[in-house]
Chain A
């Protein structure tokens, strides 16, 4: 494995960043945009990681993944709304104490709903791609509508805690505090995820299952239970990503799940279905592209991601590092 490590995709991210430098022009602006892009990329990666693992493990493509994103963000609005004293405080520690339970609550709720979603929506249609796509899409719509019933159809503000607002000056470049935090949280989650996948028994089984499900089963492991675990963990991660995304935008709307879903699909297509490394690279590329083009030509920001996807697919038709081979 190590001797033929595929290093080319890893160069894509710095290459894209350097390519954008002359286009953006000024170094401080470029620096701000790059940090913003990386932060956005990490958030998108957190959301996409669960989806791509679920696909790799069980060949299940969950079009309803976006529900957990929106759900997580809405739960966070509830929890943070109850903790006014802590969020108003200028101390970053108090703010983090407020954000932590909100995040935990969001992950728990999203995970629990993920469990129910798996049982009710996904399980009856295993192995039938066509129905799977239709059913999970239906689940997505139902979830979005239920969110509208509970929280109303309009946009709700999700203000950042006071201490996390504003930005640090670093030379001429202004870097928003929250983006650094999001970046740090993203790196942390990626570290935990990578460690779990690479160093633990469960991670070993997941990776083995992605490569060859039947073989793992014939060795006596119950891949169903493993799969449910991954599905729930993936939903919880989507909930966490939803909180971070909501704080990044400073508002939540019921349609946010659908909007982020589109980004995530682009990410996992770029990364190659089933690959976590691919998803990370894809997410960073998408985050950077979105921020650079958002600055240079705002009108084509979303189209630029599709152009990016097309470019990657021209280079590698199955994505950057496909794991799940066509079965």
Chain B
């Protein structure tokens, strides 16, 4: 049964199994185990990032092509919900309309980008996505009548998801059963379903072909698979999942702006999580997202502390300032690509004795 749910792709490591189980249980009972608004926000962000990064892993880890436009699709999903709900009404039908439009837009854009770049060489894809994503970001902040410009959009959601809604008058296990809780569990169910679907996709015959293309494009073509077609499909599927992750983000935040979903910083986060977690293992996205989001939420405080300690040395203080968070992320990123390319999951899956042989 479990084997079927996980698409026959078991963690294959005792440590990893424990870790994943702990993450699953931790997220499932987060509102009860870790009370407080900040903790719940962190947990929700983890859920969103798990889906976003897992969808990116399909592209980077399994197909071996890099996209810098993943946050664009993420943003399309978030803006889809935000614009539809603001324009129409805070209702489920508006959410459905927004999501459908966002998915359609992502589909068309991903298809167009892929067909233009992938038929020449996979390298083009990285460059073209970078250009398109930056144009889209400019466009989103310029068309302020629709997108709210740099300020973004704040909106209301259906009654059931709003904080004012009460499931019951009595608190349950010390936690009040309000709309935020409903929203969190909606995200949780969505995340579980989407991750399992992605696991299904990468372990299907289609996923195997993607891996074959990653390992040896020429040979895959020679065996008779249309490499362009498979890469395009992979890019489109990945874009659609990113759009769904964006919708999840918008549902949770009840706000969307260019900085939250479109910015290059988010793209960097995604890249870093994939590399840290382990490329080409959907589980890597889960582990990486948990580690990273927790670190991001609490490490910045640590940097601030370091900066205050180093106040006597202006140079060091400037380096340690929380504003320079990206510098350390970038360093961490380069070092992990060099020395830690298989990520946490890859490391856990290889028994220590085999490591020398690899």
Name A's B-contacting residues (CB within 8 A): 61, 63, 121, 124-125, 129-131, 133-135, 137-139, 141-142, 144-146, 148-149, 153, 258-259, 261-262, 265-266, 268-269, 273, 299-300, 302-303, 305-306, 309-310, 313, 317-318, 326
Chain A residue numbers with a CB within 8 Å of B139 are: 299-300, 302-303
Q: B115 → chain A, closest Cβ, in Å? A: 10
Query: Which of B123, B128, B275, B326 lies in contact with A145, CB distance below 8 A?
Result: B326
Residue of A nearest to B60 (CB): A130
Where chain A touches its partner, the secondary structure class is helix
Smallest CB–CB gap between B293 and chain A, Å? 19
Residues of B within 8 A of A125 (CB): 337
Residues A303 and B338 in contact, CB atoms below 8 Å apart: no
Contact at A149–B324, with CB atoms within 8 Å?
yes
Q: In the complex, which residues of chain B have a beta carbon less than 8 angstroms from the beta carbon of A133?
A: 66, 123, 126
Known A129-B123, A130-B64; judge A142-B135 contact (CB<8 A).
no
Whether A265 pairs with B131 at a CB distance below 8 angstroms is yes
Tell me whether B291 is interfacial, beta carbon within 8 Å: no
Interface string of B245-285 (1 = CB under 8 A from A): 00000000000000000001000100100010000000000
* Those of B294-352 within 8 Å (CB) of chain A: 318-319, 323-324, 326-327, 329-331, 333-334, 337-338, 341
Query: Is B124's CB within 8 Å of the partner chain A?
Result: yes
For A259, the chain B residues whose CB sits under 8 A away are 134
Mind listing 23 A-B residue pairs with CB under 8 Å?
A61-B123, A61-B126, A61-B127, A129-B122, A130-B60, A133-B123, A137-B271, A138-B330, A141-B333, A142-B331, A145-B324, A146-B327, A148-B323, A148-B324, A148-B327, A149-B319, A149-B324, A266-B131, A269-B127, A302-B134, A302-B135, A303-B139, A305-B131
Q: With A133-B66, A134-B271, A317-B119 in contact, is A141–B330 under 8 Å at CB?
A: yes
CB-defined contacts of A124 to chain B, threshold 8 Å: 338
A-contacting residues of B (Cβ < 8 Å)? 60, 64, 66, 116, 119-124, 126-128, 130-132, 134-135, 138-139, 142-143, 264, 268, 271, 275, 318-319, 323-324, 326-327, 329-331, 333-334, 337-338, 341
Give Cα distance in the complex from A133 to B319, angstroms.
26
Across the interface, B138 reaches (CB within 8 A) one of A130, A145, A269, A302, namely A302
Contact A142 B330 (CB under 8 A): yes
